[in-house]
Amino acid sequence: MKGILLVEDDVAFSEMLKQFLIRHKYVVDVSYNIKNALQQLEKQNYDLVFTDLRLPDGDGITLLKEIKQSKYNTPVVLMTSYAEVSTAVQAMKQGAFDYISKPFNPSEVLEVISNALEVKTSNLVIHEEKEKVEESSKPITGFVQGISSSSKVLDEYICLVAPINMSVLITGESGTGKEVVAKSIHLKSPRHNKPFIAVDCGAIPREIASSEFFGHKKGSFTGANEDKIGHFESANGGTLFLDEVGNLTYENQVQLLRALQERKIKPVGSSKEINVDIRLITATNEDLLAAVEKGDFREDLYHRLNEFSIKVPSLKDRKDDLILYADFFLNKANEQLSKSVIGFSKNVLTIFQNYQWPGNLRELSNVIKRATLLTKLEIIDVDVLPSELTKVKENTISSNKFSTKENEKTLIISALEEVGNNKTQAAKLLNITRKTLYNKMKEYALS
């Protein structure tokens, strides 16, 4: 039976919730404050911590931080009567699995607990791989730990492949953060204290590509006024990241393949070969398999690069992470512009959620930096957003799925069927909150 630590200072409510969970085959211990909860965690391993936000000796987020900074590998769900976006963002940034607002539906409680326990079970499968890399628990500059299912899969893949010396091919749309993923793989790997060299293959002129990759000796060609170390030698012992690898010419592909096979390079104008030990990570927003079929990209090189592939999801496929990314980019913009903007208005967050973000994270970062520069208030409002975002709000109003009562019930039933009756996933599919979904289901007598 699964063990739950319930942290709630309202004695009557905690007893009611405890009995409810016991009836559903959970083992439940109750703590009434943070101090006692931490003592309980020292004595016993729990599968889940279910804590109120407001506690006598602090708050649930304080307890969450203590749990995440300690040896406990326990998912945390927060209960709050103050279901504000800022609270959710802070909790998710600190590593909360989910949060639920009071008063809540019993079915909602059971589903959130079930989802949290399922994720913990999945995490145990990759726990040994994660333990091999001490750096994996440290924050990575520019990397946001997402909470969406797509981001969790991405993070799992990064943790799995990082300790293994395999070549990784990262695919995804432009602006999704492929270089950040590559850097996080490097920092979680045994090579983390060695160089990480990033190269934009699209920015290297064909004529000097060999020199850029392998270096050259003084006088080897016109303009070679001194010896130069190439990217391969610079990355020796560490990781070489080649962005937009599909832009390499056929000749450069041949040279790259040889260097990878032989693990040796020869600078232009030199007769001496240099042994190199690198891990290669490449990225592209093109379909390399299609390029192979057309004859534009060598098939043998493709397989050499693609020992393990990771697809970085687009921003529209991880809308649950959008507020986390927005908060991250706002903090970054504040630092760069010496501003102190504290957040976004509800209208802005609605617009962000409804916009498709064709430029992905790069576009979101640019929009927030521009808005931070323009705003004269503590909160970013609609008036400082670019016109392409504000137009979306008007279109959304007219096309809202819940604009008519006639199709509401049908849409809810279809969504529930599509996700196997998982209320959390159905709410995401319908772009409404979980609580709204439960209210709608009650209204239409849907079980």
Q: What tens digit of pLDDT does each residue of 101-138 get?
A: 776 777 778 888 887 777 655 554 434 444 443 333 34
Is residue 351 domain-shared with residue 419, that is, in the same domain? Answer: no
Residue 299 inside a domain? The answer is yes
Is residue 414 domain-shared with residue 295, that is, in the same domain? Answer: no
**Percentage of the chain modeled with pLDDT above 90:** 35
**Domain containing 348 — which CATH number?**
1.10.8.60
Domain that holds residue 30: 3-125
Rounded distance, CA 338 to CA 170, Å?
Answer: 34
Residue 304 inside a domain? The answer is yes
How many domains is the chain built from?
A: 4
At residue 425 the predicted structure's pLDDT band, cuts being 50, 70 and 90, is: confident
**Domain containing 244 — which CATH number?**
3.40.50.300
Is residue 73 domain-shared with residue 154, that is, in the same domain? Answer: no
Residue 119 inside a domain? The answer is yes
Is residue 196 domain-shared with residue 343, that is, in the same domain? Answer: no
Hey, which of 199-213, 398-412, 424-438 has the most confident mean pLDDT?
199-213
At residue 312 the predicted structure's pLDDT band, cuts being 50, 70 and 90, is: very high
Looking at residue 378, what is its pLDDT? 87
Q: What tens digit of pLDDT does each residue of 245-269 get?
A: 999 988 899 999 999 999 999 888 8
Is residue 261 domain-shared with residue 306, that is, in the same domain? Answer: yes
Q: What tens digit of pLDDT does each residue of 145-173 get?
A: 788 888 889 999 999 999 999 999 999 99
Rounded distance, CA 141 to CA 160, Å?
Answer: 20
At residue 399 the predicted structure's pLDDT band, cuts being 50, 70 and 90, is: very low
Q: What tens digit of pLDDT does each residue of 264-279 get?
A: 998 888 888 899 999 9
Amino acid residing at 391: K
Q: Residue holding tokens 């893949």?
A: 157
**Domain containing 121 — which CATH number?**
3.40.50.2300
Q: Is the dihedral of CA 96, 98, 103, 107 positive or negative?
A: negative
Residue 223 has pLDDT above 80, yes or no: no
Looking at residue 81, what is its pLDDT? 65
